[in-house]
Structure 1
Amino acid sequence: MAYLQPLLHLAQASLSGYSLFHAYISITNLQKYEKKTEKAAEWSRTAAQELHKTRTTQTSGTLAILSSLVVALGLTFKASSATFNTLFFNSINVAICYFAQNHIGNFWNGKAKVPFVQGYNDAITSTTIIRNHLQLLGVGWAISSVVELFRVVRG
């Protein structure tokens, strides 16, 4: 069982790295429209709320991915003994990934692609990929938590 955890954490770190790439794509594409959106936000409360939600969802996704990456890399290269701290970090990342993907989905699920606005459409696509990756990472952290709990109880 001890060999399973580092392999799982390495896979999580790899997926997290790939997800960061998509977060970068999404954020840079959305920044192309930031000035226009800020101008619209000066005159429209709805535009201001949309801008705020866009920023917070991108931030929560990126922070969740970074958390997964850092913890996965840390657990990949740590000692192989089972501890409650390891179980805690696994469990926390289940929650982080769940809440981030839920937060992203609540805002972005209703967003339609807009003709002739390729950067925005690419950002929607990348954000969907990020959300799917967060779901996979959450499942990975849940599996890792169960394995770690078994190792802690078994001693």
Structure 2
Amino acid sequence: MLLQVLHIAQAALAAYGGQQSFHAIQNLLKYEEATQKLAKYSNEADRQLQKTRATQAAGAIALIMSLVASVLLAFRGHSYGFLVRTLASPFMAGCLFLARQYVQDYWGGGKRVPLPKMGSYNDAQKQTEDLAQVLERLMFSWCATSVLCLLAGY
């Protein structure tokens, strides 16, 4: 029962992170056309555009994976084998760790300075920082469910 509640909480946190990710991507898309034009003339601008897209995608994919896994384990976990139930949590913790690290490495983990007259971009930057925090909290929650699975023998 406790494990089921934790998985439901993980699903809710992943949904919240998905909202942050969605808004960040929407704000970044406002600058997409201008950035693509600039990328035609600058290799660095092209690299930054590709990295921005890749980090946003990595965060979104990790959230979707966490949401799906937590919902499946919360409502159908008893029907999966012992091995799946035992390995799902550490696997998800590892995936979330890698995604969070990838996002933070590019976005600076709160160390980027807001740009003048770039309100939506600055909003996207803040939402991406929030996304990284959600990924971290999810990672720790999957670590907790890993421990609970091992101790309780689920």
TM-score (norm 2): 0.94
Match in the other structure for 1:114: 115
CA distance in 2 between partners of 1:146 and 1:65 (Å): 21
Letter in 1 for 2:93: V
Cα shift at 1:150: 2.0
- Provide, for residues 60-110 of structure 1, a one-character-per-residue CA deviation record: whole Å limited to 9, x for no partner: 000000000000000110144771101211111101110000000000015
Q: Evaluate the alpha carbon distance shift between residue 79 and residue 103 of structure 1 in structure 2; reply closer, same or farther with a 3 A threshold.
A: closer
Q: 1:15-53 deviations in whole A, cap 9, x for unaligned?
A: 000110011000000000001101111110100110010
In the alignment, which residue of structure 2 is the partner of 1:93? Answer: 92
Taking the aligned partners of 2:113 and 2:74, their CA distance within structure 1 comes to 39
1:73 to 2:109 alignment: no
Per the alignment, residue 62 of structure 1 pairs with 60
Structure 2: gaps (5+ residues) = none
| C-alpha displacement of 1:149 | 1.7
Distance of aligned partners of 1:148 and 1:60 in 2 relative to their CA distance in 1, 3 Å threshold: same
| Coordinate RMSD, CA, aligned | 1.4
Quote the Cα distance in structure 2 between the aligned partners of 1:78 and 1:61.
25
Count of residue correspondences? 151
Unaligned ranges ≥5, structure 1? none
Work out the CA distance in 2 between the residues paired with 1:93 and 1:150: 18
What displacement does 1:111 show? 3.0
- TM-score, normalised with respect to structure 1: 0.93
**C-alpha displacement at 1:112, in angstroms?**
2.1
Q: Which residue of 2 aligns with 1:38?
A: 36
SS at match of 2:76: coil
Q: Structure 1 residues 79, 98: CA separation in 2 closer, same or farther (over 3 Å shift)?
A: closer
Name the SS of the counterpart of 1:77 in structure 2. Answer: helix
Q: Distance in 2 between matches of 1:89 and 1:32?
A: 37
Structure 2 CA distance for partners of 1:79 and 1:51, relative to 1, 3 Å: closer
Q: How does 1:76-155 map to 2 (within 5 A)?
A: 76-80=74-78, 83-109=82-108, 110-152=111-153
